[in-house]
Structure 1
Amino acid sequence: MLKTRVITAIILLAVFLPITLFAPVGAFGALIAFVVVFAAWEWARLLKLGGAGPVVYALVAAVALVASTQLGTGIEEARSLFKAAAIFWVIAGPFVLLRKPTLAQGAWRTFLFLAGIVVFAACWHALVAARMQGVPFVLSLLLLVWLADIGAYFCGRAFGKHKLAPAISPGKTWEGAIGGWLVVMIVAAAAVVLHAFEPTLYSALLAQWGAARALLALTALVAFSVVGDLFESMLKRQAGVKDSSGLLPGHGGVLDRIDALLPVLPLAMLLLG
């Protein structure tokens, strides 16, 4: 299992890293669109759409993504799409986690099919807009989510005692979540003090919002990375599966890798809009 996981990680890095660092924005956008369409396919499967339904849903997401490009790829042009995705995550995300409705049936299922198109389109536009700000910027945005996740894992293992959402993801703890937040704060502070690889998300928030509000903004982004993670965990738990798919051997599916990014990306771009 570990060998498979490592091999998959190496292949993913070999594909994504050069394109992110060196390819034109158009090539980067094409790669992210490919990822988003597969994520949409997994979303439909978790909502128990049978037969060829997930493939059709993925095709609809692809068409919607192409159609949405008329909004543009800049922060201002895609702002309405970011707002729509943000409303979903700020209102529906916490409500679902607190009330735990059955998501794969009735009105919730229909709503999530529609909301998913917006969520995935906003994810694509936000990543492309971030890439247009520069490689350091998009990497710092991704790093926020990765650091929060890694910090939560190790701090949770070392200090975790109080379960964060035992009915949804028993392994997550409040101590882990706080530890992930602290790791993000430390790295962000270091990056700002050292003026490392600017412009980054951290330097942009500081310049636009000031130190206190930038701290609150980063805290909110870390919190919503947890919301995105837990939301997908709930989808999987209700669907009775461990992973969103087996597309990435040893790592699960695409949604398993980008769940925390889905709310963070549009929210981050809104904060800087």
Structure 2
Amino acid sequence: MLKQRVITAVVLLAVLLPALFASSPWPFGLLTLVMVAAAGWEWGRLNGLAGGAVLVGAAVALICGAAWWTGTAFGAWPLVAVAWIVGVALVLRAGPAGWPKTPAALRWVLGVALLCVAWLAMTQGKALGLNFLLSVFCLVWMADIAAYFSGRAFGRRKLAPTISPGKSWEGVYGGVVGVLLLAVLWSLADAHFMPASPSLYSLLPARLGWPLALLALLVLAGMSVAGDLFESLVKRAAGAKDSSQLLPGHGGVLDRIDALLPVLPIAIALATL
């Protein structure tokens, strides 16, 4: 299993990094469009569409592709941020038993909307600069890695036992500390090396001041956990361990991007205030 995970990760990096660092936006845009379309297919399968799940993936691809082709700008980021925070709180409170009670058609439309908004946020983040987009990605990765090690070392109190029994409050605290440490170090690196574009950790203090910037980082770290829990809830309601087997050793695309779904649009909302 470990060998398979490593091979898949190497292949993904070999494809993603050239697209990410390309001067043209097209390679990264097309690659991520394929990924979110695949995630749409997974969403459809997890929400009862079975053979028709490809329709959800196709809808995601068509809407995102049309927005990109026409140059349509999306500006309702604060509204999306509030909707994510309120919506995910209600869904998690209802638990896995509450999710199937939501009308199936509404769940399908919601999946399309969440994936399209995340992709639009990702492309806008790329337009703000590679340094900005990487800083958002690294926030999610740091929150996940620090939470994993902190949870293994100190985890005692379960965070959401009916949704993800392995997660603990101590893991969440460790993830938050990791994100705050990353923010301080990255902002210092920005000041020293003066990259071509600002990172999230430079933009937030510049626009909000450090006290509010730290609060914003706490929100982003918390929403990273919430995005992970949200996808776990959907999988548990469907009786699935992984969203698919598209990425051998890693599960599906949704399993890799679940925490990014809320963090990307909220980061854009905060950075463009």
> Structure 2 counterpart of 1:12, which letter?
L
The answer to whether the 8 Å contact 2:22/2:28 transfers is no
TM-superposed deviation, 1:102? 3.4
1:151 is aligned to 146
1:14 is aligned to 14
Classify 1:99/1:106 alpha carbon distance in 2 versus 1 (closer, same or farther; 3 Å): closer
User: What secondary structure, in the 3-state scheme, does the structure 1 residue paired with 2:209 have?
Assistant: helix
2:120 is aligned to 125
* In structure 1, C-alpha distance between the alignment counterparts of 2:57 and 2:254, rounded to whole Å: 13
TM-superposed deviation, 1:156? 0.3
Structure 2 counterparts to residues 112-261 of structure 1, below 5 A:
112-194=107-189, 195=191, 197=195, 199-261=198-260
* In structure 2, C-alpha distance between the alignment counterparts of 1:23 and 1:238, rounded to whole Å: 42
Classify 1:35/1:84 alpha carbon distance in 2 versus 1 (closer, same or farther; 3 Å): farther
> Structure 1 counterpart of 2:181, which letter?
I
Matched, 1:102 2:101: no
Structure 2 counterparts to residues 65-76 of structure 1, below 5 A:
65-69=64-68, 72=71
The answer to whether the 8 Å contact 1:48/1:104 transfers is no
TM-superposed deviation, 1:28? 0.9
Which is further off, 147-156 or 115-124?
115-124
The answer to whether the 8 Å contact 1:85/1:118 transfers is no
TM-superposed deviation, 1:22? 2.6
* In structure 1, C-alpha distance between the alignment counterparts of 2:246 and 2:255, rounded to whole Å: 10
* In structure 2, C-alpha distance between the alignment counterparts of 1:88 and 1:243, rounded to whole Å: 26
The answer to whether the 8 Å contact 2:33/2:65 transfers is no
User: What secondary structure, in the 3-state scheme, does the structure 2 residue paired with 1:222 have?
Assistant: helix
> Structure 2 counterpart of 1:140, which letter?
S
Residues 152-200 of structure 1 show CA distances to partners (whole Å, capped at 9, x for unaligned) of 0000000111110011000000000110110110111112123254510
The answer to whether the 8 Å contact 1:168/1:237 transfers is yes
> Structure 2 counterpart of 1:114, which letter?
V
* In structure 2, C-alpha distance between the alignment counterparts of 1:4 and 1:201, rounded to whole Å: 33
TM-superposed deviation, 1:229? 0.2
> Structure 2 counterpart of 1:123, which letter?
A
TM-superposed deviation, 1:72? 3.8
Moved over 4 A (4+): none
The answer to whether the 8 Å contact 2:203/2:271 transfers is yes
Classify 1:142/1:17 alpha carbon distance in 2 versus 1 (closer, same or farther; 3 Å): same
Aligned-residue sequence identity (percent) comes to 46
Which is further off, 204-213 or 186-195?
186-195
* In structure 2, C-alpha distance between the alignment counterparts of 1:254 and 1:19, rounded to whole Å: 17
User: What secondary structure, in the 3-state scheme, does the structure 2 residue paired with 1:103 have?
Assistant: helix
> Structure 2 counterpart of 1:220, which letter?
V
2:267 is aligned to 268
* In structure 2, C-alpha distance between the alignment counterparts of 1:83 and 1:247, rounded to whole Å: 33
TM-superposed deviation, 1:116? 1.5
* In structure 2, C-alpha distance between the alignment counterparts of 1:227 and 1:125, rounded to whole Å: 20
Which is further off, 56-65 or 29-38?
56-65
* In structure 1, C-alpha distance between the alignment counterparts of 2:200 and 2:181, rounded to whole Å: 14
User: What secondary structure, in the 3-state scheme, does the structure 2 residue paired with 1:102 have?
Assistant: helix
Runs of 5+ unmatched residues, structure 1: none
* In structure 1, C-alpha distance between the alignment counterparts of 2:199 and 2:84, rounded to whole Å: 24
Runs of 5+ unmatched residues, structure 2: none
